[in-house]
Amino acid sequence: MTERLVVAIDGPSGVGKSTVAKRLAERLDVPMLDTGAMYRAVALSVLDQGIALADEAEAIEAATTADVRLRREADGALEVTLDGCAVGERIRNPEVSEATSRLAVYPAVRTRMVHLQRQAAAEHGAVVEGRDIGTVVFPDTPHKFFLDARNDVRVERRRAQLVAAGVDTDTDAVAASIAERDARDSAREASPLRCDERYHRIDTSDRDIDAVVEEMAASVRAATHARDSDSS
Ligand code: DC
């Protein structure tokens, strides 16, 4: 099989990863893979079963057996399904966000997700966004981007998303929840969010999204070109 293009995008929440990943994937003609949606689907399944996260053994058992898959749609998109159905917007509510971050610390929960992500990308290529994509899931891809933004910008973006989704919230509550999830996602032992020198780092705070996507596409093109020249 020819090697597929895999672009890794990591970074904390509220830096524009999803929007950027979607547009970059269109530009590069590969599907976009939202790995956060996979962990969110796992959490939704655990919550729907009424399992208390404090009961660690039961929560891990439910999380590792949740029927989360990736389905290739007719238009080429990779859809996250739970029990055979597309997960929809329910995975975005604050309760699910909190549970997701708590369940994502368990290595057993991550193993199957990583397997599904590798399988899908090997078959179709992908722009993959998450927290551990360039460090753990696809450490060998030469295309690694770390998106970041100032805290106030991230909080405002997240608040606007919640308001658009009909969730009543205020800035302080959003800031507190982002800070708590950031700390957990970065401090956990299993696949923490981490940036190293192999990443192309971009601060999106004051940038136009299209300009960010253009910068990334140019970087992917240049790296691909350099590789092709090396191997010819
Ligand atoms: O990107 P997001 O906000 O949808 O991610 C939801 C949660 O899942 C967040 O707490 C981090 C976690 N996550 C992870 O641990 N690894 C990934 N590859 C993607 C998300």
Pairing of the two strands 68-72 and 6-10 = unpaired
The number of folded domains in the chain is 1
Binned at pLDDT 50, 70 and 90, residue 2 comes out as low
Domain that holds residue 25: 6-212
Pocket perturbation via mutation, ligand 1, pick of 39, 113, 116, 162 by most ligand atoms within 8 A of CB? 39
Rounded to the nearest angstrom, the distance between the alpha carbon of 180 and the centre of ligand 1 is 13
How large is the average pLDDT for residues 30-37?
97
> Is 96 touching ligand 1 by the criterion CB < 6 Å?
no
CATH number for 90: 3.40.50.300
- pLDDT score at 230: 77
Binned at pLDDT 50, 70 and 90, residue 232 comes out as low
Name which residue sits closest to atom 6 of ligand 1, judged by CA.
Answer: 36
Q: How far apart, in whole angstroms, are the C-alpha atoms of residue 109 and residue 106?
A: 5
How large is the average pLDDT for residues 153-174?
89
Name which residue sits closest to atom 10 of ligand 1, judged by CA.
Answer: 101
40 within 8 A of 97, measured Cβ to Cβ: yes
Q: What is the pLDDT of residues 69-104, one digit of tens each?
A: 999 999 989 999 999 999 988 998 889 999 999 999
The reply to whether 229 falls in a domain is no
The pTM of this model reads 0.95
Rounded to the nearest angstrom, the distance between the alpha carbon of 216 and the centre of ligand 1 is 21
Name which residue sits closest to atom 9 of ligand 1, judged by CA.
Answer: 101
Arithmetic mean of pLDDT over the chain: 94
CA angle 119/114/52 to nearest 5° reads 135
Nearest to 155 by CA among 27, 12, 11, 8: 12
The reply to whether 221 falls in a domain is no
The reply to whether 137 falls in a domain is yes
Q: What is the pLDDT of residues 175-221, one digit of tens each?
A: 999 999 999 999 999 999 999 999 999 999 999 999 999 999 999 99
CA angle 104/110/114 to nearest 5° reads 135
Q: Is the pLDDT of residue 228 over 90?
A: no
Whole-Å CA distances, 134 to 6, 101, 129, 146, 149: 10, 19, 9, 9, 19
Name which residue sits closest to atom 15 of ligand 1, judged by CA.
Answer: 104
Q: Is the pLDDT of residue 39 over 70?
A: yes
The reply to whether 222 falls in a domain is no
The reply to whether 228 falls in a domain is no
> Is 181 touching ligand 1 by the criterion CB < 6 Å?
yes
